[in-house]
Structure 1
Amino acid sequence: MITLNTLIVDDERLARNELRRLLEPFTNINIVGEAVNGDDALAKIAELQPDLLFLDIQMPGKTGFEVLSALHDHVPEVIFTTAYDEYALKAFEFNAADYLLKPIDPQRLAEAIKRLESSEPRVAPEGDGAGANSFSNKVLSENDQVFVKDGDKCWFIRLGNVRLFESVGNYVRLYFDNQKPLILRSLNALEERLDPHIFFRANRKHIINLRMVEAIEPYFSGGLLARLKGGDKIEISRRQAIRFKELMSL
């Protein structure tokens, strides 16, 4: 296991102490120091040469983004920690490893560190405007975090929380929680990027998350009807029903 020398950068003492507490179970995270603002962070990075930064965004003086822009010789991995979700797209323009919202959820923190340990390729956003999103060319697992923008609304979501993908013309609608944003992407292109063991092409218009299936029942012409968490009922076509049964059998 690789040890990551880590610098915590946050202007709030309580936030630094809380993050230290949350990081205690991770034996590969070696906290080498703390910085209380942007200028302090630049000095500590030059001195300590950390492998990883937990970096706040809004701080007195330089912002977290300005800190990264000032780095040249040594650029550590970065996990942003902030109370504001509106910076997510910009964070990934800086090739951030992850983006954690305060108060930091221990499970999300664990996922972020696990991603660093496995050296998974990062997911970076593509373009901007309606439909801008962070679906890249690599195969995406249920644990990948993606950034989705639909109009003025933005979400930073774990793919495993998406129960359904629905084709709507040249767009795909994502169903998660009570949200249904659209992204500019075809369902066929999206299917190529999703883990087929988790995300199943039910028919021409729908991909379902198999972990979100609550019940299956027979349907017309040899097909099946899948009931998902949240109440969605999706037909599995006759041809796909054969694949579904093979996939789900012992």
Structure 2
Amino acid sequence: MELDEIIQKQIVYKVSGMEKAQVKRNLTYQTTDESSLKCDAYYPAEFDGKTKLPAVILLHGDVDPGILKPEVLNNAKDWGGYISTSQLITTFGMVAIPFNHRSAEGRISKMWEVSSDIQAMLNFVNAHAEELMVEKSAIGVWAWSDGVPYLSALLNSAPEQIKCMVTYYGVMDLQLFIPTLPDTLTQAQRENIVHTLKAFSLINLLQEKPKAIPPIFIAKAGLDNSFTNDSIDNFVSNADTQGIAVELLEHHEGHHGFDWIDENEKSREIVKATLDFLKKHLADS
């Protein structure tokens, strides 16, 4: 699928009138040496600006620099999938906040830079909750693909700020990469990489700090790679033993990105269940 086609794709589940959502665009949440990082805030069409609402932060994934240039993420929040998902969220009585973050450019060491963007986004929402009309005690995060590992560091640093989370077809255990590390690494290089892979593995956080994991909804694409799906299965199994509230739905014939590209009832069922989950833990709690 060509990049232009991906950017124009919209979420497969629609609600009448969702395109009428109110929007505050291009709010700067962090300035780096390279650029100013922006976010948007979407509100229900009937929002009167007087009552604080629960909020869902939309955490996009990354790109393989061997296939696409990292610069394509500069305006990821403006892709059709994130715009339409944000609009959809507002129909469930919540604020949707998509944002742009930097790419790790395929380098493990740069994951910390990306993580700092994501932490800055959460800090921005909390610091500006009054003007954003966001209820700070009711914030959730919906992460896709390569955005999922960053939830581990975010929860490790601020678990009390995230009421629930959603992961779509994301790797839950980057430590599975450790056996593939080249023998040419120095001991210091290897230790740094292993530390990073552990820090961005939700399975590691689950095992070491299970209380940092909020209720979680996991969407699994049956046609995704076995590495991703095995990590999801392992996480769910461990979460069950820890008593963590996990809701898992699998699209057995779904591709990576099924919520944008697979126009069928199962895709719509999973997206609808996702919104019900967020509403239950944020708007109805």
TM (normalized to structure 1)? 0.37
Q: Which has the higher contact order (CA 8 A, sep 6+)?
A: 2
TM (normalized to structure 2)? 0.33
- Please identify which structure carries the higher helix content: 2
- Please identify which structure carries the higher strand content: 1
